[in-house]
Structure 1
Amino acid sequence: MTTDNIPKRRISRRGLLAGGVGILAAAAGGSAWALDRYVIDHVEVSDASSLTAAKVVAAEAANDGTSTATSYSSDTATISIEKVETGSGSDKVTYFVADVQVTDATIVKSAFANDQFGENIVANPSVIAKSVDAVLAINGDYYGFRTTGIEIRNGVAFRDAGARQGLAFYSDGTAKLYDETATTADELIAAGVWNTLSFGPGLVENGKVLSGIDSVEVDTNFGNHSIQGNQPRTGIGLIGANHLLWIVVDGRSSGYSRGVTMTEFAQIFADRGAELAYNIDGGGSSAMIFQGGLVNNPLGKGQERGTSDILYVAG
């Protein structure tokens, strides 16, 4: 969850306030460290989409308000997007639900900003989505802000540094929450994993909202230790094999949407029949793109913010 309107594109959106680079550098002992960690691009893999699974690279609330819907259908995917508004005034919540059914799990893919894997490489989700002709896309886990986590994308291992609870999507259309520290990227790929996300926490398992999720801290690094309280959020759920829920909640905008707590977010998934759900990057990064257009209204400003990656449905 982050600070917005930072003028320089590649400054991390994780809370480097105006002048914050200097403050951070002073605290850390020098500007070189801050610039290297939070500003300078670190490309580890170029032309990331050219890699294939055979070329593995190991590199570092119930709907009780109003709603509107739109849809898409093809031979490989059926998508219905619904806008839901609940409450009123300062308690109003606005969110978007994409119900996604596919005939082949591998058309649900990931893409990186600039088609490059590494730190501090960002682009607006709509730009990334356009580059891969995505029908539907949401922001990913913002892997580029950290150096840990297991990152398998489209059957290729880009990072193998287990650190937290992850989400694994399998090529048979199923998904599981798992402990990254108890396995490796190679073992996951051998078991049929197609994509992983590394953020969290898990929200729903076996159809039940998980307890204690409102007190979870995802990371302990600068500006990213807390995801608590009412926040804009993005999450992914699974109703059954090849049947997904992608939900984006807007927030931090009085009278439009206050955001939701983690438990409220989990309950939205559970109420819609999700057997499994997982929280990914949120705040001003939360975005849903449909056929090239921004669906939601980030922070009530209608402006996207750059991120490292997206998850998308291929056309």
Structure 2
Amino acid sequence: MRPSTTVKPRRRRRRVIIGSALALTLALGGTTTWALERFVIEHPEITDVDAYEAANSTVTATDDATADASAADATVTDSTYDSDDADVTISTVVTGTGDDTVTYYVADVTLTDATALRSAFAKNTFGENITETTSDIAADNNAIFAINGDYYGFRDTGIVIRNGVVYRDEGARQGLAFYLDGSVQVYDETATTADELLADGVWNTVSFGPAIVEDGAVVDGIEDVEIDTNVGNHSIQGDQPRTAIGVIDDNHLVFVVVDGRSPGYSAGVTLTGLAEIMQGLGVTTAYNLDGGGSSTMYFNGSLVNDPLGTGTERGTSDILYIEG
């Protein structure tokens, strides 16, 4: 017969295992709750953006009647849009072969009125974790052309000015500002305020980055930049799907969406590769926006690109668009 002392340690070990498992379960439960709150559950702050902008905008933009008249007189083809307010030309570029193939889409946009380039939020609501596809947001706002924005709703920092109205003033990174005079500038969010930008004539801002071309040259060190490297978000390094804005001149912009993670169709590009694409388009300044599955270009009711090679869009929180 075995002595009783050989049994007691086993019982103590079981209690230790059970206790550890319970602690782990509680810890995971807390982490799950936090993750849901942080990345999934909607946190609306302004539930009717249209009404909010109508009440708070101090900018005289193209009114609806003028926009409707311009759209009515517009000429649209499979790849072009020409109106009194904006001209858009879409082109497709394919480089490389096999698994090194890269496919990207370029929208060359000229504006006669800087306010023709507008922003819209998913579900007409400002807040965190509120998403729709680029196509759905575009359709809700009668857009002829749209790209995904900066996914402002993933974070609670950054300066967010949209359509001449301040939504957030928490400077944290390098931003891009679109001015009423048609100029576009990279700026340091931490060195100014949203009210100062508005007073200087800013119409829209985006907050992601980094700037990848300045004064026509590729910015040094962009491969070492990290954006939002917190739980649940990818690094922006390596070959990835990309979205970027390039500035050729006042009121002359190019928007580029590079597809990726689809060997044989499009591998994606590094930030340096994206900068070189922009250089080839003749830009003086270029700025990186949210990428990955969010990278989307929309034109005249349809997707232009093929997100992740599956044709399936990932929800995002905002778009930049031109009304048609």
TM-score higher than 0.5: yes
Tell me the residue number matched to 2:40. 39
Bigger Rg over Cα: 2
Q: 1:91 to 1:194 in 2, by over 3 A?
A: same
Tell me the residue number matched to 2:165. 156
- Opposite residue 106 of structure 1, the aligned amino acid is T
Query: How many angstroms does 1:270 deviate by?
Result: 1.1
More helix by share: 2
SS in 1 for 2:240: coil
Query: How many angstroms does 1:30 deviate by?
Result: 4.1
Cα separation, 1, equivalents of 2:57 and 2:129: 23
The answer on 1:238 being equivalent to 2:247 is yes
Tell me the residue number matched to 1:219. 228
Conserved 8 A contact 1:90-1:258: yes
Q: 1:36 to 1:172 in 2, by over 3 A?
A: same
- Opposite residue 79 of structure 2, the aligned amino acid is T
Q: 1:25 to 1:297 in 2, by over 3 A?
A: farther
SS in 2 for 1:152: strand
Query: How many angstroms does 1:223 deviate by?
Result: 3.0
Mark the runs of 5 or more structure 2 residues left unpaired by the alignment: 1-23, 59-77
The answer on 1:76 being equivalent to 2:85 is yes
Tell me the residue number matched to 1:289. 298
- Opposite residue 126 of structure 1, the aligned amino acid is S
Query: How many angstroms does 1:250 deviate by?
Result: 0.2
Query: How many angstroms does 1:31 deviate by?
Result: 3.3
Cα separation, 1, equivalents of 2:148 and 2:227: 17
The answer on 1:49 being equivalent to 2:58 is no
Cα separation, 1, equivalents of 2:51 and 2:112: 24
Q: What is the CA deviation profile of residues 157-182 of structure 1, one whole-angstrom value per residue up to 9, with x for unaligned ones?
A: 10100111000110111111111111
Conserved 8 A contact 1:53-1:156: no
- Opposite residue 248 of structure 1, the aligned amino acid is V
The answer on 1:249 being equivalent to 2:258 is yes
Cα separation, 2, equivalents of 1:25 and 1:257: 43
Cα separation, 2, equivalents of 1:38 and 1:293: 28
Cα separation, 2, equivalents of 1:216 and 1:233: 15
The residue correspondences of 1:59-74 to structure 2 (distance < 5 A) are 70-74=79-83
Q: 1:215 to 1:28 in 2, by over 3 A?
A: farther
Cα separation, 2, equivalents of 1:70 and 1:312: 16
- Opposite residue 138 of structure 2, the aligned amino acid is A
Tell me the residue number matched to 1:304. 313
Indicate the RMSD between aligned Cα atoms, in angstroms: 1.9
Mark the runs of 5 or more structure 1 residues left unpaired by the alignment: 1-22, 58-68
Conserved 8 A contact 1:105-1:173: yes
Conserved 8 A contact 1:53-1:154: no
Q: 1:91 to 1:45 in 2, by over 3 A?
A: same
Structure 2 length-normalised TM: 0.84
Cα separation, 2, equivalents of 1:123 and 1:185: 26
Q: What is the CA deviation profile of residues 97-134 of structure 1, one whole-angstrom value per residue up to 9, with x for unaligned ones?
A: 00000100001000000000001100011100001101
SS in 2 for 1:273: coil
Query: How many angstroms does 1:310 deviate by?
Result: 0.4
Structure 1 length-normalised TM: 0.86
Cα separation, 2, equivalents of 1:25 and 1:252: 36
Tell me the residue number matched to 1:201. 210
- Opposite residue 49 of structure 2, the aligned amino acid is A
The answer on 1:173 being equivalent to 2:182 is yes
- Opposite residue 167 of structure 1, the aligned amino acid is L
**Aligned pair count?**
282
